[in-house]
Structures are given as structure tokens and as C-alpha cells.
Amino acid sequence: MLYFSRLEVISMIQVSHLCKYFERPYREPGLKGALKTLFTHKKIVTKAVDDISFNVADGEIVGYIGANGAGKSTTIKMMTGILTPTSGEVRFDGLRPYDPKERKTILKDIGVVFGQRTQLWWDLPLKDSFDLIRDIYDVPQDIYEKRLAYLDSILGLQPILMSQVRSLSLGQRMRADLAAALIHNPKVLFLDEPTIGLDVLVKDKITDAIKKINKDNKTTVILTTHDMKDIQNLCQRVIIIDEGHLLYDGTLTAIRKRFGDIRHVYVLSKDELDFAAAEAFFHNDVTIAKLDDGYLEVSYDADKLEPKEILNYLLAHLNVKDIRIDETTLSSIVKKIYAAKSV
């Protein structure tokens, strides 16, 4: 199993050998199988999270990524106290979020934003939702007013404060949900797909707001997303999991160094390129693919080849109509890690 890990010495959040297994009755198909289920105790065990350990330091922004079903949401639910681990533990400043005696204390230090769900009251004006959240967290009125003014300054809330939540656009609601999660000034902010479905301008506003909140308040941020641009714009560190196992834990700089600086040249031409001959010429240090839009994608490791070598070869063999170069994407690196996970 491919595995890289990095642990902080002083950490706000400590995840140690965390496991969560789910059991369900074994059932054969059909009515006969359903009847057998009533008289058998055979179970199928699903290991949603299997022996994961990592620490998160105070003030870090960490990207927690993986494919659908990798175990991200299950981990987050244990970190926020919604689920209890099968084994292992999670600690926030030494406290366990799923312990009934410690949970109430920890919840005051946690804020959560779900991209597909809202914690706002659908039929109420946004300001009323904020007032209710103030009362739930017992935030003093003077502190609440200062906090709301601060959030308004970075999220532009004033024009929508008296609007019903149901009338808000997706971008407006996401800004409102982010503000709602921050009214009580939590130490840790969990963001689950916070920019899903948003246009570029709103994404940039949300991203800038998260950066400022982290800088001004030293708020620790744990971000789960499938948008690699969000990770690159916000995080210095990523944790990658798959099938409940930790595959990588480290900085973006280290991940690029470990897996190479992969770049891509895209060319548009009516001519046909001999892929095998081109790959042989570069000693198999390039990969070439024909894209649906008609472009050729030539991928290469910038540590091994110069871009001029690629361009010279393509220009010598093709009548090029258009050309562009893209730098390394986190998406391509993540794909490489998944491809190598059985190593």
C-alpha cells in the first residue's frame, strides 16, 4: 500500500488509529433469501475508515480529499461527534467530540458548512436565522454585532439580511451559510464541498473570505472537495484517502516533488501524429492522447524534458493551428497516487 504521512508535534486535532466499521445482515436474493435472513446471524462488514492517523495544527488549512465512498464523510462525522468510532479516537484539545460528557464543550468550537444542505431556517429572513444561531451558542449581543459586522465586510451580507432564505440564490445562500457557521467564532471550520455548483466569481469570493478568516482569527479549516482548484487556492497540505485507508499526508510542494512536475502541451492540427514514434523519440518520457475537442494532449515531466524539446518536435511534424501549455494540476497528481496505491 502506498502511504506517506506527516504528523505535527503540537496539534489541535489528533486522529489516532481511527476505524469505523458498519455491519449489515447478509441477504441472498429473492423471497427465499429474505426468509433466510430472519434465521441467520451472518453479517457483512464494511470498513468505511480503517486505521487512519493524522494531526492538524492550530491555524492550518487542510484539504481532505478522496473519491466518492473513500471514507471522507465518515471521518468528518467522527471528528464532529456525529458518529462514534469502532476503535481509535479523535481528540480536540484533548477532548473527544463523541463523548456525551465532552461533546457540548467541543461543539462551541466547531463550525460546519455543507454544500448541499443549509443550517438556515428556510422561511425566515436571513437576519432572524443569525439571531437564532446567536441564541443557540449564547453569544453576547455586543460580540454578536461586532462579529456580524466583520462577516458582512468580507461576505457582503447587508443586501440579503432581510431576505427570506428560500429566495436567496445558491451563491448568496453559500455566503450566508458560511457566515452562520462563523457567528460563534469557532476554532475549527469544517467545509464539505462549499463551492459546489457556484460560478467562478462567487467561488473566488468564498475562497478569499476563507483565507481572510483563517488569517485574521487563526481558524483551523478542514476542507473536503472534488474541486482541485479549491485545494490549490486554499491549502498548503493535503490528506488523501481511498477505501478507508490513508494514501498521502503532506504539503502540496512535497507531493509535486514526489510525483514530478507534470505539464501538458495541447496542439490543434489536421495532421496525424505517429504516437508510437513520438513516444519512442522521447524514450517514453511523454504520453500522448487525442481529446474529444480535436486537440492532442502531450504530457511530460518538466524535470526530465524542456518545453522547447516538445514544441520543436510537434512543430516539425505537424502543421499547428493552435497551441497552449498548462502547468502541473493537482488532479493529475492525485490520479497518479490512486494508480500507484497498490504499490
Strand runs labelled E in 39-186: 43-56, 61-65, 87-92, 110-114
Residues in the chain, pLDDT under 70: 1-11, 33, 38, 259-260, 327-332, 339-343
> Which amino acid is residue 255, in one-letter code?
I
The stretches of 218-292 forming alpha helices (DSSP H) are 228-234, 252-259, 275-281
Provide the CB-side half-sphere exposure for 17 (13 A, CA): 2
pLDDT given at position 7: 44
Provide the CB-side half-sphere exposure for 52 (13 A, CA): 33
pLDDT given at position 60: 94
Q: Distance between CA 312 and CA 296 in Å, rounded?
A: 15
> Which amino acid is residue 271, in one-letter code?
D
pLDDT given at position 44: 81
Cell numbers that stand for 3 in this block = 502511504
pTM for the structure as a whole = 0.76
Rounded alpha-carbon distances, angstroms, from residue 122 to 164, 190, 196, 197 = 7, 22, 20, 19
Please list, in sequence order, all residues whose beta carbon lies within 8 angstroms of the beta carbon of residue 167, skipping any fewer than 6 positions away: none
pLDDT given at position 216: 92
Name all domains of the chain by residue range, CATH numbers in brackets: 13-256 (3.40.50.300), 261-327 (3.30.70)
pLDDT given at position 23: 85
